């Protein structure tokens, strides 16, 4: 009986302590973030590390550029929001979709869910599943790079190359080297070097392949996504201008 009273008292002290910490914490955030956002922006301390890693992986692989921030949709009528899939699909179903793609189509105007299996790791897919199953909550700093404005298309294109996840498949500086074992070339092509610039020798040719992508085969072959309908024309031009800065020999 005596022990129980002490335990209850201790619990009460802890509760008061946490309450006081939270009150101070949120009032501090109200000053910097604004009262409206304070209630919805969680502090990093509250985020499960697997869910947080999933939110950052979602940004890294540009899932957000097709499915919207936090998978809320609104980017293209051909790309679904992910809240329903997160609630209804099992881990095995989600893993299959992410590794093998979905609706892969040869229609260049229609985006499809890319095949990621050769590019993304099992552990990264685990994080994505944790994030989807948690309902795609807001996670601090899980945001794509800011695209600088007023500094020219090459600078913008460099940020877009990361924002749209081109870098995951074509490597930093377009150097390539990412394996695609079952494709004829066994690798995702570089966007640099004499061969590339020999074939893609005009802006229009580079822009066309970004827009229309390729279907070189179904999963497990990784193919170039269809970005037409997703990436606005001026961003495609900025990507072209950035790609043209890569090594040409
Ligand atoms: C180039 C655009 C694009 C990118 C990038 C993309 N997706 Fe998709 N995704 C789609 C499209 C289009 C569909 C619908 C395919 C269909 O139903 O035919 C889809 C479908 C899905 C589905 C099934 C949704 C449902 O309701 O059935 C899941 C889950 C999904 N994507 C997750 C992801 C994740 C996770 C990433 C990042 C690793 C990602 N997607 C990146 C275009 C994209
Ligand atoms: C999921 C991996 C993936 C992503 C993401 C991706 N690509 Fe590709 N890309 C490929 C593959 C695979 C090919 C080769 C297609 C083929 O041979 O038919 C390719 C081909 C290309 C080519 C033509 C190169 C050649 O030699 O055929 C260009 C240019 C290109 N991609 C630019 C981009 C840009 C810009 C982005 C970002 C907006 C991007 N890619 C994102 C996989 C990807």
The pLDDT tens digits of the residues spanning 150-181 come to: 999 999 999 999 999 999 999 999 999 999 98
Which ligand sits closest to the CA of 68?
A: 1
Q: How many residues does the chain have?
A: 249
Contact 236, 225 (CB under 8 A): no
Measured CA to CA, the distance from residue 76 to residue 67 in angstroms comes to: 8
Q: Which of 59, 64, 101, 169 to mutate to test the pocket of ligand 2 (most atoms within 8 A of CB)?
A: 169
Q: What confidence tier does 217 reach under pLDDT thresholds 50, 70, 90?
A: low
Q: Is residue 102 in contact with ligand 1, taking CB distance under 6 Å?
A: yes
Q: How many CA atoms lie within 13 A of 165 on its CB side?
A: 22
Q: Whose CA is nearest to atom 29 of ligand 2?
A: 206
Q: Which of 102, 170, 211 to mutate to test the pocket of ligand 2 (most atoms within 8 A of CB)?
A: 170
pLDDT in tens, 100-152: 989 877 777 788 888 898 999 999 999 999 999 999 999 999 999 999 999 99
E strand segments, 123-233: none
- pLDDT of amino acid 225: 87
pTM (predicted TM-score) = 0.86
Q: Which atom of ligand 1 is nearest to the CA of 84?
A: 26
pLDDT in tens, 10-67: 444 444 333 333 333 333 333 333 344 444 555 656 899 999 999 999 999 999 999 9
Q: What confidence tier does 184 reach under pLDDT thresholds 50, 70, 90?
A: confident
Which ligand sits closest to the CA of 158?
A: 2
């Amino acid at each position: 009986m005596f022990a129980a009273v002490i335990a209850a008292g201790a619990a009460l002290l802890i509760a008061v302590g946490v309450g006081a910490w939270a009150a101070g914490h949120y009032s501090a955030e109200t000053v910097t973030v604004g009262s409206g956002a304070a209630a919805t922006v969680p502090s990093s301390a509250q985020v499960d590390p697997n869910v947080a890693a999933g939110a950052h992986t979602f940004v890294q692989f540009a899932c957000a550029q097709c499915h919207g921030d936090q998978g809320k949709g609104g980017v293209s009528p051909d790309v679904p929001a992910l809240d329903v899939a997160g609630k209804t699909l099992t881990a095995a179903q989600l893993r299959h979709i992410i590794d093998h793609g979905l609706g892969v189509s040869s229609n260049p105007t229609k985006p499809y869910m890319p095949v990621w299996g050769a590019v993304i790791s099992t552990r990264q897919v685990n994080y994505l599943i944790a994030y989807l199953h948690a309902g795609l909550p807001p996670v601090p700093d899980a945001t794509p790079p800011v695209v600088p404005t007023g500094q020219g298309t090459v600078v913008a294109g460099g940020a877009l190359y990361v924002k749209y996840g081109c870098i995951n498949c074509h490597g930093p500086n377009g150097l390539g080297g990412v394996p695609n074992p079952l494709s004829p070339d066994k690798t995702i092509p570089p966007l640099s070097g004499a061969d590339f610039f020999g074939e893609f020798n005009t802006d229009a040719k580079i822009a066309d392949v970004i827009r229309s992508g390729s279907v070189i085969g179904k999963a497990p072959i990784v193919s170039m996504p269809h970005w037409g309908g997703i990436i606005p024309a001026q961003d495609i031009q900025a990507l072209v201008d950035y790609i043209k800065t890569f090594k040409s020999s």
